Amino acid sequence: MRWFTITTMNITTTTSTTSTDVQRDYIKEYSHSLGRDMELLHFGHAGTPLLAFPTSMGRFYQWEDFGMVEALSDLLQSGAVQLICVDSVDGESWYARDRPVADRVARHLQYEAYIVDEILPRIPERPVVSGASFGALHAVLLAARHPTRVLGFIALSGAFDTARWLEGYHDDSTYFTNLMAFLPGLTDEAYLSPLRAMHPKVVVTGEGDPNVDDSVKLAALLRDKGVEVGLEIWPGWAHDWPYWKDMIRRYITG
């Protein structure tokens, strides 16, 4: 079964196979949340959906280009996993230094609406969300803000304190999009109960990663709320695609 439902004629879609005989669907369509076209890639034909975010300002084809699809090829071929690689708008939001900070966060929230309102409803079951580096932030932030819509998360070498991109600016939107800010005060069981029930819940990084402290702090904040997240610290640098290929294989099947 294809994971998506096509509801508009204003869509470009092509289906092919990769060199490892994995079904590959390319989709380009207009996003009402973002007011522009968005692209994505879908790999596989059945199985647990894995929704993948690219690294900072990365594109929807990044996981394919850097070997993550090949690393999962046996799981995609067998129907154990299907992979949805979405695009980013980081250059219009967190990294848009030429825009007022409030506008950057507002653009991120439009991106979140694109994922929640336009992508998730077309996946037949809740996905595991994942990403590396800045993509790990997107994955965990989506899981924490919309826990009933996500099966679990695998965060690879993430940087999780969004304050570093906001030049000291604070408002309600920056607070509720910063895991390090809102998790300590989170008491609502409507969020915490589904977070605790998620599987997998993995935060993994390298001991030499410059953002390792963010991963340790995030795991501690979640555990303080009774969310038993697995914190895995690998030896070495571990902030690169060869590590991330090994990580995603290990934890998507764990």
CB 154 within 8 A of CB 140: no
- Averaged pLDDT for residues 215-239: 97
Residue 120 has pLDDT above 90, yes or no: yes
- Averaged pLDDT for residues 61-77: 98
Residues 6+ apart with CB under 8 A from 8: 29, 30
* CA dihedral angle for residue 217, residue 221, residue 227, residue 228, rounded to 10 degrees: 30
Per-residue tokens: 249: 């294989």
The alpha carbon of residue 194 and the mean position of all alpha carbons in its chain are separated, in whole angstroms, by 17
- Averaged pLDDT for residues 11-38: 90
pLDDT at 6: 45
- Averaged pLDDT for residues 239-244: 96
pLDDT at 7: 46
- Averaged pLDDT for residues 37-62: 97
pLDDT at 8: 45
Concatenating the DSSP letter of every residue in 105-155 gives HHHHHHHHHIIIIIIGGGSSSPPEEEEETHHHHHHHHHHHHSGGG-SEEEE
Angstrom distance (rounded) from CA 24 to CA 216: 36
Residue 49 has pLDDT above 70, yes or no: yes
Residue 18 has pLDDT above 70, yes or no: yes
Please count the other Cβ atoms lying within 10 Å of the Cβ belonging to residue 210: 12
SS3 content of the chain, % helix, strand, coil (to 5): 40, 20, 40
Give the three-class secondary structure for 82.
Answer: strand
pLDDT, tens digit, 9 for 90 and up, residues 139-171: 999 999 999 999 999 999 999 999 999 999 999
- Averaged pLDDT for residues 228-246: 96
How large is the angle between the packed helices 101-113 and 134-145, nearest 10 degrees? 70
Confidence of residue 220 (pLDDT cuts 50, 70, 90): very high
pLDDT, tens digit, 9 for 90 and up, residues 94-113: 999 999 999 999 999 999 99
User: Is CATH 3.40.50.1820 the classification given to domain 14-252?
Assistant: yes
CB 118 within 8 A of CB 32: yes
